[in-house]
Chains A and B, each alone.
Chain A
């Protein structure tokens, strides 16, 4: 098999992203020195600054590297540096500005973001931050990077797998093999639950899905004839039985809501070569539903949480904990290998994909992340009918597709790093490898149960 390779091309953002710090130049109190510190800026920021007439801002915050030279050296003390309020405004409590700017950088360059100054943050947090992956196989710095070693496969298969094959007396295969789709990265695309996305956004995602050879799950309402060239890389999400009858025959994957799951057999008889994926909200009932559906020949289960990775319940648990729960219950029943589990919601960083897979999913479905890669600020102004500040409806599909391809390359590289560091050669081996990860709750229990007992 030829090596899978993603072609990266630098794709600059259309709007300069806000920088973390902003230089305040008070102007008053200038001593009129002959050699102004602004002329001596090592990054030439004061010459590069421009007025952005669309965003109505000075671009100095983007170019400034926060070296504090001008702040320290100005004899009049007229310059100061503060945190940019526009930077703090992007995103929300989960999709933090740091995460969003990292996604933008990856979508622009296609490379792993390296901060270089060490990690000064806390060792544990909530959500995905309370588990650590095993990196025990790192024994020395690699001579030629992750791509120079033996090939690490990131392929996953989507579909139902038989636990055993049946042959007749002549040695002929009698069991019928269900359809399978093999995709080279464990990441699929879909649209977030909110937002009015224009056609060019959909085309960007479809194009990226075709180039990467993965799947884009498009809602039936948005699927038109223009998308036929991409049909091999599309899954169609339907809401009702009428919509299913109107689907093209050669569609690869159909996504149905949980409410239609009792019609699974009927859908399979009319579309025998199409994989049917059932979309289930993550809730306390999700575990029981996954067991019943798997016993009833379900092929693919798509569990979705909200944008912050939380389950739909009064006391929500985090996506990784529920996926772990579902995976382990299927393992206990001995049916885990028959079904494919995909998870979506709250996946914002490359490590989240690896961590979701460790907790038992086969792959991840990316939603809001794609919009962030296309420069969405997550302001959700579009929901209130206010015009999009970055005019996302009118992006160039080729530009958008390349941004997504770059991001996926950066994420795949990070996945390869994790796999390499764990000494694995296949992402399918990573699924459910909970013994190779450390969970904060387990560590706490181990350390403190003896004290509790007393």
Chain B
């Protein structure tokens, strides 16, 4: 079973149950949804520490760059993720283990759900 953690910004217009419902994961993926105050709150060290455990992948649901409440939270989150993806590539773990998505509306969220599922199932 794949174990996935999804962090979501608390300023998104969806709450935990709604996200859980829209993402609609198959039973072979066990997910954990965790709220964070801002997508930029997640630090590089923290993400790497999580990848050290038996978690297979981490995804971050951030607000759109143009409507971040803190102005630059989503930009920072993207920068951090890109940095870690570089590290993961160097380590040979593959950058698919980590991703950040901007959530606009529910169709977009469904699209993200499909994308995450595809990426989870491709991880070996």
List residues of chain A with CB under 8 Å of any chain B CB.
22, 24-28, 51, 53, 56-58, 82-86, 89
Closest to B11 in A: A85
B40 touches A85 (CB 8 A): no
Residues 26-41 of chain B: 1 if any A CB is under 8 Å from the residue's CB, otherwise 0? 0000001011111011
Chain B interface, number of residues (Cβ within 8 angstroms):
20
Q: Which of A27, A57, A85, A86 has the most CB of B within 10 A?
A: A85
B46 touches A85 (CB 8 A): no
Residues of A close to B37: CB separation below 8 A: 22, 24, 82-85
A56 touches B34 (CB 8 A): yes
Residues of A close to B34: CB separation below 8 A: 56-57, 86
B53 touches A53 (CB 8 A): yes
Q: Which of B16, B37, B46 has the most CB of A within 10 A?
A: B37
B43 touches A25 (CB 8 A): yes
B53 touches A56 (CB 8 A): yes
Residues of A close to B43: CB separation below 8 A: 25, 27, 58
Q: Give A222 to B100 CA distance when docked, in angstroms.
A: 47
B40 touches A26 (CB 8 A): yes
Q: Interface SS of chain B: helix, strand, loop or mixed?
A: mixed
**Interface status of B76 (Cβ within 8 A of chain A):** yes
How far, in Å, is B87 (CB) from chain A's closest CB? 15
**Interface status of B5 (Cβ within 8 A of chain A):** yes
Q: Give A57 to B53 CA distance when docked, in angstroms.
A: 12
B44 touches A51 (CB 8 A): no
Q: Give A86 to B34 CA distance when docked, in angstroms.
A: 8
Q: Which 10 A-B residue pairs are closest in the complex by CB-CB distance? A: A85-B35, A85-B10, A51-B49, A82-B37, A53-B53, A24-B41, A85-B37, A56-B50, A58-B46, A22-B37
How far, in Å, is A422 (CB) from chain B's closest CB? 44
Q: Give A84 to B40 CA distance when docked, in angstroms.
A: 14
Q: Give A57 to B36 CA distance when docked, in angstroms.
A: 10
Q: Give A58 to B76 CA distance when docked, in angstroms.
A: 19
Q: Give A53 to B48 CA distance when docked, in angstroms.
A: 12
Number of A-B contacts (CB under 8 A): 38
**Interface status of B55 (Cβ within 8 A of chain A):** yes
Residues of A close to B49: CB separation below 8 A: 51, 53
A-B contact sample (19 more), CB < 8 A, given A56-B32, A82-B38 = A22-B37, A22-B41, A24-B38, A26-B76, A27-B44, A28-B76, A53-B49, A53-B53, A56-B5, A56-B34, A56-B53, A58-B46, A83-B37, A85-B10, A85-B35, A85-B37, A86-B34, A86-B35, A89-B16
Q: Give A84 to B38 CA distance when docked, in angstroms.
A: 10
What are 28 A-to-B residue pairs whose CB atoms are below 8 Å?
A22-B37, A24-B37, A24-B38, A24-B41, A26-B40, A26-B76, A27-B43, A27-B44, A51-B46, A53-B49, A53-B52, A53-B53, A56-B5, A56-B34, A56-B50, A56-B53, A57-B34, A58-B46, A82-B37, A82-B38, A83-B37, A85-B10, A85-B35, A85-B36, A85-B37, A86-B35, A89-B16, A89-B35
Residues of B close to A28: CB separation below 8 A: 76
Residues of B close to A25: CB separation below 8 A: 43
Q: Which of A24, A25, A53, A89 has the most CB of B within 10 A?
A: A24
Closest to A89 in B: B35
Q: Give A86 to B44 CA distance when docked, in angstroms.
A: 20
Q: Give A383 to B20 CA distance when docked, in angstroms.
A: 16
Q: Which of B35, B55, B76 has the most CB of A within 10 A?
A: B35
Q: Give A24 to B5 CA distance when docked, in angstroms.
A: 20
Q: Give A28 to B46 CA distance when docked, in angstroms.
A: 15
Q: Give A56 to B48 CA distance when docked, in angstroms.
A: 11
How far, in Å, is A87 (CB) from chain B's closest CB? 10
Q: Give A27 to B38 CA distance when docked, in angstroms.
A: 14
How far, in Å, is B91 (CB) from chain A's closest CB? 19
Residues of A close to B35: CB separation below 8 A: 85-86, 89
B10 touches A56 (CB 8 A): no
B38 touches A56 (CB 8 A): no
Q: Give A153 to B76 CA distance when docked, in angstroms.
A: 61
Q: Give A89 to B37 CA distance when docked, in angstroms.
A: 12
Residues of B close to A89: CB separation below 8 A: 16, 35
How far, in Å, is A226 (CB) from chain B's closest CB? 33
Residues of B close to A24: CB separation below 8 A: 37-38, 40-41
Closest to B9 in A: A85
Q: Which of B10, B16, B52 has the most CB of A within 10 A?
A: B10
Closest to A384 in B: B20
Residues 86-110 of chain B: 1 if any A CB is under 8 Å from the residue's CB, otherwise 0? 0000000000000000000000000
Residues of A close to B44: CB separation below 8 A: 27
Q: Which of B15-70 contact A (CB under 8 A)?
A: 16, 32, 34-38, 40-41, 43-44, 46, 49-50, 52-53, 55
Residues of B close to A22: CB separation below 8 A: 37, 41
